[in-house]
Amino acid sequence: MQRIFDMFRVLLQQCLHIQARLELKKRKRRTMAAQHITLDIPEKILLAEKTDALAFGKELRVLAAVKLFEMGRLSSGRASELAGMSRVEFLLSLNRYNVFPLASELHDLERDHASSH
C-alpha cells in the first residue's frame, strides 16, 4: 500500500510540475519575457506547510515580491508582476505581511521635512 501511495505522490508531483510549466508559458505569452527558476524544496517542508509544490511556489513568488518591494529594490508595479497579481491586489495584500505600501514615500516626506527645518 505504501508503495502505491509513493508512486501516486510522484505522479502527482510530475503533473503539478507540468501544470506549473504550462501556466508559466501562458503568462509568457501575455507579459514580457520571463525566466524560469527551479528551486529544490525538501518534501518535508511541503508536508510541514500542508501544501503542494504549485501553491508553495506561488507563495514564494509573493513573499519574494513583498520583500524586494519592502527593501526598495522593486517598484510596486514590478513587484506585482513578480507576485503574479494586479498592482492594486498586490498593494492590498501588503497588510498581511505587515508592510506599509507607502513606506518609501513617507520616508521621503520625513527626510524632506527634516532637511527643511
C-beta contacts of 57-66 below 8 A and 24+ residues apart: 57/20, 58/84, 62/93, 63/97, 65/90, 66/93, 66/94, 66/97, 66/99
Predicted confidence band at 31 (pLDDT cuts at 50, 70, 90)?
Answer: low
Give tens-digit pLDDT for 75-106.
Answer: 989 999 999 999 889 988 998 998 887 766 66
pLDDT at 34: 81
pLDDT at 21: 64
Percent share of the chain, pLDDT over 90: 40
Measured CA angle at 89 (ends 56, 31), to 5 deg: 75
pTM for the whole thing? 0.63
